[in-house]
A and B are shown apart, each in its own frame.
Chain A
C-alpha cells in the first residue's frame, strides 16, 4: 500500500471504525488500487489471507482465502498465479457455499435400511475404518485383490495417491476424471504428440477457429484460457469463428457462427484441410519437418473431403468452408481448437486428430499463437512406489455395463467425489447396479455430501473439502513456464470430516498386508515435502514455507520448452492412419419428428459439483429444453410448454425454451441441474439451518430442472473411449 501508507490507514481505520460501524465511513485518501487483498466491511481491518488452489473445476486457479475470526469470509484470486492472474470465476467464489454448506455429512455413516432408502446411522471413524479394512482384508485373504475398484472421478490432484493405494493393494481398475472435455481429446493429443494435454495458445493468436468449444462458459482451463482469448480478440484483433449446433455464449460472441449438424465437425475440418492443401496455402516446410507424413500423401488423402461433400454432410456452405479455410491459413498465427461439440461424439477422437492436422497444415503446432502442449512439473512422489501394475483409466461407464453383465467381479467399490449415477449416461442402469448387493457387495463412498450415487453406499465417509486440505499441483502453464501451486488448509476440516489423503493413509495402515509399506511417509504434508525436495530451485526459494506464504512458485529461469516431442519418431504422428471423418451410423436416417439431443454446460456450474451452491443455483436453476423456433412452430410449442422427450432408454418431460439460436434438427438440454438427491439447496425451497440465508431460497417454485442423462444411452468412441454425449437421437412430442 503505497500512496496511503499502512500507518495512515490504521489511523483512518481506528478513527473511521466507529463511523464505519454506524455505516458512515469517511471518504478515504487517494491510494493506488491493489490486488489480492480484502478488508472487513465492519471493522475496516485488512483480513488475513491464506493462499491455496481452487477445485471447483479442473483449472486449479490460485485462490486466497480471507479469514475473519477464524471463519473463511471470502475467496479471491491469487495475483501471483501465472495462469489465472488473480482472476476468478463465479464457481471459485461459491466454493464458500461448499465449505459452510448445511448439508455436509457430519460424521461417518453406515447404511441402516435397504440400499437407496437413505437411512443412515452415525458411526465413529474407528468403526468405519475397521469395517472397510475388514472387507479389504477379506479380499486379500481370498486373493481377490483385483476385485477392489477405486473411482477417483473428480479430484485430479489426488490421482497419484489414489493410484498408489490401488496399486499397493494390487487392484486391477482405477478411474480418474477425464479432462479436456472428453477422454477422446486426451487420447488424440497423446496419439499425435505424445503429450497428455494440449490447448490453444490464444493469447498470441490472430485467428481462432473453434469447433464445438465453449470457452466463454466452460473450459478445463476456464479463467486462464478465456482471459487470454479476450486479450487476443481486443488487443490483436483476433477473429473467432465458431462451429456449434447452438448459440452458446461463445458462438453468440464470435465474429461468425455456423450451425452444424452434430457429429459432422470432422468433415468440415478435413474439407478445410483439403482447401488449404489444394490451394497451396499450407506450410510445406512444417509438414515435412515436423510430421511423419508428406504433403503428397496428405493431398491424396484429403482429396476425398471436398467442400461440396462437406456441405452435403454438415450443412455448412462450401463457399463458407473455402473462405474460412483461406482466412485461417493466411492469418498468422492462427489456431484451431476443439471442444465438447466436436469431441463428445463416438467419432470424437478422429475429430480431434483432424483438428490437430489442420493446425499442422498451417504450421501451428507448438508455436506461438498456435496449438501448444503446456506441461507442468512432473511431481515425483516419495519412494517406495508400488509396482506399476496398471494405468489409471479415464472415468467410464463401461465398468457398470461390465458389472451388470457379470463380466466384471467387484468385491469392494470405493468412490471418491464420484457420482456415477448423476454423471454417467444411462443413470438407471448404474443405479440398478449400485443397488444390487450381489453385484457390488460393499461400496464405500468418500464425499463431503450425500449424492445420487452414494445413496446406495454401505459406508459414507465425510470428506474435508478442498479448502481444508493439502495438495501439491502443477497445472498446465498457459505461458509455457511450469509452476508449482500448493493447496493448503485455509481452515481446519469441519466437524468430523477428514481429507481424502488422510483417509487413504489410515486405511493403508489398517489394511496392512504390504499396502502400508507405500504409505510410510506419514502425513500428506510429508508427502508434499518429499516432492518439493526433488525440485532444488524451489528448495532454494524456501520450499514449503515459500509456498505456504505465496501459494505459487514459478521457476522464472525456465524458458518455454518447445519442439521436444515425446513420440517415437520425434515428429507429430498422423501416420499410419491419417485422420478421417467417421459418419455416426444412427444419425444417418433421422425421421420426421426426431432430433439430435445434445447436452451443454453452464458458466456457473460444473456438472455434478455445484448444484448445492446457493449463489450459483440462484443464477441458473432450471434448464428448459432448447428448441428451434421453426421446429417449435411445427409442433405448436410456445415458450414454457412441456414436451416429452423420448430416446431408446425412456423419456423425460421438460419445459421448452424456444429460440432462434439452435439448429432446427437439434434440441439441447443442459446438465448440472435436475438433482434428486443432493441435499436441500438444489431444491430451492426455504429451510432452517445455521445459515439464516437458507430461509430465503426462492427458486424452487420456478422449477429446478431436468437431467438428460437418464435417457442418454451408453455409447463409446472405440478409439478414445469417450462417451458419445451428443449422439442421442430423440423424439419430442407436446404434452
Chain B
C-alpha cells in the first residue's frame, strides 16, 4: 500500500463564505473564544458599480517544508509521513517560536493553557475513516480532502484538471492546502478592502 499524502483542495468557485467551517472546527476541536484554527477571509474589491466579493478560507497549510518545525527548540512539532504537521502538546513549552515563524498565522496559544495549537486536518477523524469536520459540514462542497498519492482521489483529479494556487509560494513552504480560483487580492494579506468584522 502506497503511503498517504493528505491534502485539501478549497474550490473558491463554490465557497459561499458562510463560516460553517470556522464553527465546525470550533465545535470539533473545542477551540476557545478569541482564536481560530480555520477562518474565512472576506474581501470586497472594485469600484462602484463593478464590485465583487471574494472569500478565502484559511487553515494550517501542512507545509511540505514547515518553518515552524525547523524552529521548534524542543522538537514538539513535526511533519508526519502522511503530510500532517502535528504538535505534541506535552512537549510544547509555549515559547511561540513557531507562531513567529509561521507565514500563515495558522498557530495560536490556547488561552486556557499555555500550549500552541493549530489545525491538523482533524487527524483523529481522518484515521477513523472520516472527513475533517470542516469538509464534512461545508454546505457548498467547497472543501475537498484526500490523498494526493491516490490517482483516483478527488483532490488529485481536481488538481490535475484545474489551475490552482497556494498561499505565499515565495516562502518556499510548499503548502498542502490548494486553492482553485482564488483571488490574488484575497490571498495577499495587505491588498483588498478588509471586512467590517
Stretch at the interface among A72-80, A372-380, A441-449: A72-80
CB distance from B129 to the nearest CB of A (A): 3
Give the residue name and chain of the B residue nearest to A697 (CB).
Answer: B33
The number of chain B residues touching the other chain, given as a range, is: 35 or more
**Given A4-B129, A77-B136, A227-B140, A661:B26 Cβ within 8 A:** no
Decide yes or no whether B64 CB sits under 8 A from chain A: no
Q: Nearest residue in B to A84 (C-beta to C-beta)?
A: B139
Contacts A25-B123, A33-B145, A252-B51: A90 and B18 contacting too (C-beta < 8 A)? yes
**Nearest residue in A to B111 (C-beta to C-beta)?**
A696
* Residues of chain A with a CB closer than 8 A to B138's CB: 87
Q: A619-B197, A696-B111 are in contact. Are A661 and B14 (CB under 8 A)?
A: no
B88 contacts A24, CB within 8 Å? yes
Interface 1/0 per residue, B80-103 and A, CB below 8 Å: 111000011110000000000000
Contact A39/B23 with A217-B18, A258-B49, A664-B48 known, Cβ cut-off 8 Å: no
CB contact between B48 and one of A94, A253, A628 (< 8 Å): that residue? A628
A224: nearest chain-B partner, CB-CB: B139
Give the residues in chain B near A75, CB-CB below 8 Å. 27
Residues of B within 8 A of A249 (CB): 16-17, 42, 53, 55
Is A553 on the interface with B (CB-CB < 8 A)?
A: no
A290 is an interface residue with CB less than 8 A from chain B? no
- Minimum C-beta distance from A68 to chain B (A): 12
Contact status A247-B136, CB under 8 Å: no
A93 B137 Cβ-Cβ under 8 A: yes
Taking a contact as CB atoms under 8 Å apart, the answer to whether B23 and A93 are in contact is: yes
Min CB gap B35→A, angstroms = 9
Stretch at the interface among A383-391, A502-510, A610-618: A610-618
Q: Which residues on the A side are within 8 Å of B124 (C-beta)?
A: 20, 25, 39-41, 44
Which residues of chain B from 31 to 62 have a CB within 8 Å of any chain A CB? Answer: 32-34, 42, 44, 46-49, 51-55
Known pairs A76-B137, A615-B26. 18 more at Cβ < 8 A?
A: A1-B128, A30-B4, A33-B126, A33-B146, A41-B29, A88-B20, A90-B18, A216-B16, A230-B14, A230-B16, A247-B51, A249-B42, A249-B55, A252-B52, A252-B54, A660-B193, A661-B53, A697-B33
Interface residue ranges, A against B (CB under 8 Å): 1, 3-4, 9, 12, 20, 22-35, 37-41, 44, 46, 74-77, 84, 86-90, 92-94, 96, 216-217, 222-223, 226-227, 230-231, 233-234, 247, 249, 251-253, 257-259, 603-604, 614-616, 618-624, 628-630, 657, 659-662, 664, 692-693, 696-698
Q: State the 10 A-B residue pairs at the shortest beta-carbon distance, nearest first.
A: A252-B53, A28-B127, A31-B129, A90-B23, A696-B33, A87-B139, A660-B48, A216-B16, A661-B51, A230-B140
14 A-B interface contacts by CB (under 8 A): A4-B129, A9-B129, A22-B90, A33-B145, A34-B131, A39-B124, A90-B19, A93-B23, A230-B16, A234-B13, A247-B52, A660-B48, A693-B33, A696-B34
